[in-house]
Structures are given as structure tokens and as C-alpha cells.
């Protein structure tokens, strides 16, 4: 595994579910605690945001449609967490988002180390 200077990760999520339901799903996946629209787990802090660029029509575009998803997550590692553990946690989060039917694509420096390369250009998105 490579070493990365920047561990920030943004995950675009498209679903028709309400924001609170998405928040609770993520909380359950990472075994975290909710503080407003932020989930705090042992390895990361995740903020669920509404995407101001949301556009239902643009989502279906092949190349970059995920940029127009309804929500996105701003994710930062907790202090003193090992990089490998954090990236593994992001991978588990993505796999679980996909398994519950959310379309999710990660955008980060380490996306090539994630399952399906973060979901970008993946037919199974």
C-alpha cells in the first residue's frame, strides 16, 4: 500500500432515500455516533451533505454523472488512526453502501486501492 499525504475522501451517493435514512444507514455501517449531520466512528468523521449540484437528469451521463448525485460524504480520518486501517474502513463503507443499493463513487487520492477503484467507471455502480 502506498503512503498518502492527503487522506480526505469524498463519496458521492445517489439514492432517492431521505437524508435522515441515509445518515442512519451510514451510522450503522461504521458503528458510529451521530452529531447533527456528522457521524463519528473509531477511524473517521463523516459529514453527510446535500449536493448543491444535484441534477437527476445529469446523473445518467456515463462519464461524470456521479458529480450530480443527491448527496456526498466529506470524510476525514480520526487523529492517530493508521492509514491502512482508515482506507480499509472506507472500502468497507463503500461495499456496504453498494450492498444496500446506493450508487456510490469515491473521489480521493487512494481511490485505486478501493474496491472497484472507488466505483468510478464501474458498470455495477
Query: Whole-prediction pTM value?
Result: 0.89
Q: What is the pLDDT of residue 1?
A: 63
Tell me the pLDDT tens digit for each residue of 67-104. Answer: 878 999 999 999 999 999 999 999 999 999 999 999 99
DSSP string, the chain: ----S---EEEEEE-SS-HHHHHHHHHHHHT-EEETTEEE-SSEEEEEEE-TT--HHHHT-TTTGGGG-SEEEEEEEPTT--HHHHHHHHHHHHHHHHHTT-EEEEEETTGGGSGGGGGTT-TT-
CATH number for 9-119 (one of 1.10.287, 3.40.50, 3.30.310, 3.40.1350): it is 3.30.310
Structural domain boundaries of the chain?
9-119
Amino acid at each position: 500500500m502506498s503512503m498518502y499525504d492527503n487522506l480526505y475522501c469524498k463519496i458521492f451517493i445517489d439514492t432517492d432515500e431521505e437524508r435522515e435514512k441515509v445518515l442512519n444507514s451510514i451510522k450503522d455501517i461504521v458503528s458510529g455516533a451521530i452529531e447533527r449531520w456528522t457521524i463519528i466512528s473509531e477511524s473517521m468523521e463523516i459529514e453527510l451533505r446535500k449536493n448543491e449540484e444535484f441534477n437527476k437528469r445529469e446523473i445518467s451521463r456515463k462519464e461524470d454523472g456521479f458529480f450530480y448525485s443527491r448527496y456526498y460524504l466529506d470524510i476525514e480520518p480520526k487523529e492517530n488512526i493508521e492509514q491502512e486501517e482508515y482506507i480499509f474502513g472506507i472500502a468497507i463503507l463503500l461495499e456496504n453502501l453498494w450492498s444496500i443499493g446506493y450508487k456510490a463513487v469515491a473521489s480521493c487520492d487512494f481511490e485505486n486501492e478501493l474496491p472497484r477503484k472507488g466505483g468510478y467507471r464501474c458498470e455495477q455502480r
